[in-house]
Copies of this chain bind each other. A is one copy, B any other.
């Protein structure tokens, strides 16, 4: 295939690249079909087949026997500019693991010489991968196995609706092993989602070398879960259907003053409520963007269900780490000292903050904002917000099912996200703040750090000249990028399906199996703990595994689970300053990554109301000392996302964006996947 053809092919928006045989494959290209055929012929000749299928060699693994790395590198560097590729790449070889007469054979085939180069019988523990062919035979065995048929009769089930699944059996200390695989069965009868209908209590062991059932167990009977509610194929789902994902006649949202609502496509029918969420974009000179009253329109319950009463960055603490006289005092609180809502954006004139097509994609809508200048005059920030639907090629959910006879199912849904973006420029730094609202109910907040480093001049032009600490990185001649942190502390007033909520730590704890009932020695379980007071809810992330969930203790799902949203944290960076150091006293709200407090209208600014030259006497750390009750109350979650920043030369003269984000994800908030019916 020459270059011209490639361009022609690729100039279509989509094409199917035909994997034609190539006479000169790249030495790392996978085996071609004709190479695989050649391997098959050569190996089958050497390991003669018998009439009993089970005794044929099974090709458990066939892959490229990769040339030595140095061979590849030397081939690559010898003729880097040569096109077509140089004539003598390393020889093509295949590596085969074949199961034959209950042994694992390792066979290397030279594809140019068309011969076997070496063979070896593996003598160690363990077996090669199961093949799909073996699995296909093994999972059919139960269907004609009398004890299993009896188990089905006992349960009133029909063998023609049974779907069996193989499970590798592991190893639990046995001195001798056979090539055993466990088989358990499921029931279709009205659904493609047979995984949802396990015939529990029944299991079989299959010896894969003999391809026979060698163990059987029918220990107990529990109800077969019903087929209803398990289907995921769009064609089989019942109304109410969700609106189509693809918006063909304009954006999928409306903006009414500052209220953003998702809308449905024309022709979707039903009521005209916004779908998938409604949110108010507030704006404040200190906080920048404020998300309020974010709710989710629940198609099943036919109502807006509240999620986030208010969310914003309450403080952005940026302490620098250079202790010299001119630099030690650089410990900025960008929100309280400057304000994320005007920053430098509009210092001298009314300028647009967000640039169409470069700051926001072409499908973005824009909203202006206003702040009061020094003398009280309103100043307009045109395009302070942009709002757009992001189609990033992510997959919202999918499943491929090939196990059902005569059916091939692939259901897949591309992700679409509603993004509310602002940029706050604080002198040299530019902070991009995206609030993302997913159809699945997740709310993400992603910050991007870009702009220009705080730079210090110095005598040095090369690190060799540096004899003492420079507290940063020499990023250019005479230029040091100084070490620093960024702590984004979020105010998250979650109102999960109502105002009164509780904060639950679902801790994962190791349990030791002591009674020897099974050969396994341990597992983990979930021990949930509801925080009673503020003291119970101060958390340093990473110390122990837990899921942190804000629940509504007054409502439960049909199954009885607590309705909740959980925090999936983003990048973590805990403060390294001494806790009695002055900047850290002022920034003591970063002593924990997560705090919970009862809602209090006056507790909005985590570093205090008057932050410039503050003394830390009005921070969350002080408020929280009252250890107030937070169970089944209107509560606020404070979460800090942190970055330690050691500059590098790539950050000069402008930094490529470094991003991090956290997610608030519905957790038993819905009765089932809320986007199952979205197409």
Contact = CB atoms under 8 A, between A and B. Distances in A.
Interface string A102-130: 00100000000000000000101111111
Identical copies of this chain, number = 2
B582 A171 contact: yes
A631 B336 CA distance: 47
A104 B359 CA distance: 37
Contact of A200 (B223, B428, B457, B652): B457
Given A14-B365, A255-B17, A321-B525, A128 B610 contact: yes
Contacts of A542: 542, 572
Nearest to A457: B200
Contact of A372 (B59, B134, B219, B508): B59
Given A397-B656, A521-B578, A6 B373 contact: no
A224 interface: yes
B425 A399 contact: yes
A69 interface: yes
Contacts of A172: 329, 582
Interface residues of A, number: 302
B59 A375 contact: yes
A10 to B, nearest CB: 5
B611 A545 contact: no
Interface in A570-588: 572-574, 576-578, 580-584, 586
A244 interface: no
B415 A133 contact: no
Contacts of A367: 17, 19
Contacts of A168: 332-333, 337-338, 612-613
A479 B30 contact: no
B634 A650 contact: no
Nearest to A601: B68
A152 interface: no
Given A200-B326, A413-B358, A560-B464, A257 B383 contact: no
B397 A450 contact: yes
A520 B323 contact: yes
Contacts of A299: none
A342 interface: yes
Interface in A53-104: 56-59, 61-64, 66, 68-69, 72-73, 76, 80, 104
12 contacts: A31-B372, A63-B285, A69-B601, A127-B613, A170-B582, A177-B613, A182-B329, A184-B326, A219-B326, A225-B455, A347-B402, A349-B402
Given A124-B617, A225-B455, A650-B673, 6 more contacts: A125-B610, A135-B347, A230-B653, A353-B400, A359-B410, A520-B583
- Lowest 9 A-B CB distances belong to which pairs? A133-B374, A40-B376, A126-B610, A463-B560, A392-B392, A126-B614, A62-B372, A11-B250, A200-B457
